[in-house]
Amino acid sequence: LAEIDAGRGPTDAGALITSLVEQLIARMSQSIVDMNDHIDLLEDADPEKDPEAMLNKISTIRRNCLSLKRHMSPQHEALERISREAPGWFEDHDRREITESIERLRRFLDDIDISKESAVVLQDDLRGRSLASSEHATYMLTIVAGIFLPLGFLTGLLGINVGGIPGMEDPRAFWIVVGLCCTILGMQLALFWKWKWF
């Protein structure tokens, strides 16, 4: 509108349409460039630093990709139809400009697909890392439980208030039990090491 007010606007209907199309594509191209910049930043970021925030950003990028594609695909089809069935008042240079706009839109749609695929790869990588970390933590807790379960059973058995426990009157019994627990612990650790559990 500013160009029209200044007297530099389109001079005919064909020029008006091509000018509008070019401005729409320019606005979309900036959105795509910004989105690609965000993806590049996420690819360079440390995934261990804040994976939840990264996953949220990636989800936003994927939603933006879908929105842009939904917005641009019908425009691409409409421009192709105009190019095929151009009205009589369209001049040759208008047709050429529309064809160039169609090519630009097609490239942008390809860029959106690439951005979406990059976001999916990033998202899968982050989720895989998070899952591996959770599995490792669960695995270590299982090993710790496996180590202390027999020791807990032994100390619990010796701690009951029932007469006749072996060594009840022996002052060395406590140290014998401690030595037995340490022996069991050492045997367990040796077995776990042999089985490559850690």
CATH number at residue 156: 1.20.58
Clarify whether residues 113 and 20 are in a common domain.
yes
Write down which residue in 132, 157, 186 finishes a domain.
Answer: 132
> Which of 142, 128, 148, 134 has the alpha carbon at shortest distance from 198?
142
Clarify whether residues 105 and 24 are in a common domain.
yes
Query: For residue range 100-156, what is the model confidence (pLDDT) as tens digits?
Result: 888 888 888 898 888 888 888 888 888 888 888 888 888 888 888 887 888 788 777
Clarify whether residues 109 and 145 are in a common domain.
no
Provide mean pLDDT across the span 177-196.
83
Clarify whether residues 35 and 124 are in a common domain.
yes
Determine which of 52-66, 85-99, 127-141 has the lowest per-residue pLDDT on average.
Answer: 85-99
Clarify whether residues 43 and 93 are in a common domain.
yes
Please report which residue ranges of the chain form alpha helices under DSSP H: 2-5, 13-44, 51-84, 92-158, 173-194
Q: State which residues form the domain around 115.
A: 2-132
Instruction: Please state the pTM of the whole predicted model.
Output: 0.61
Clarify whether residues 109 and 143 are in a common domain.
no
Q: How many domains does the chain fold into?
A: 2
- State both tokens at 126: 């982050």
Clarify whether residues 113 and 178 are in a common domain.
no
CA 13 → CA 78, 177, 190, 194, distances in Å?
A: 17, 98, 86, 82
Clarify whether residues 126 and 176 are in a common domain.
no
Clarify whether residues 122 and 145 are in a common domain.
no
Clarify whether residues 21 and 57 are in a common domain.
yes
Clarify whether residues 166 and 190 are in a common domain.
yes
Q: What whole-number distance in Å separates Cα of residue 182 and Cα of residue 160? A: 21
CATH number at residue 119: 1.20.58.340
Query: For residue range 6-42, what is the model confidence (pLDDT) as tens digits?
Result: 556 556 677 777 888 888 888 888 888 888 888 888 8
Asked whether the predicted pLDDT for residue 73 surpasses 80, the reply is yes
Clarify whether residues 11 and 74 are in a common domain.
yes
The single-letter code of the amino acid at 140 is M
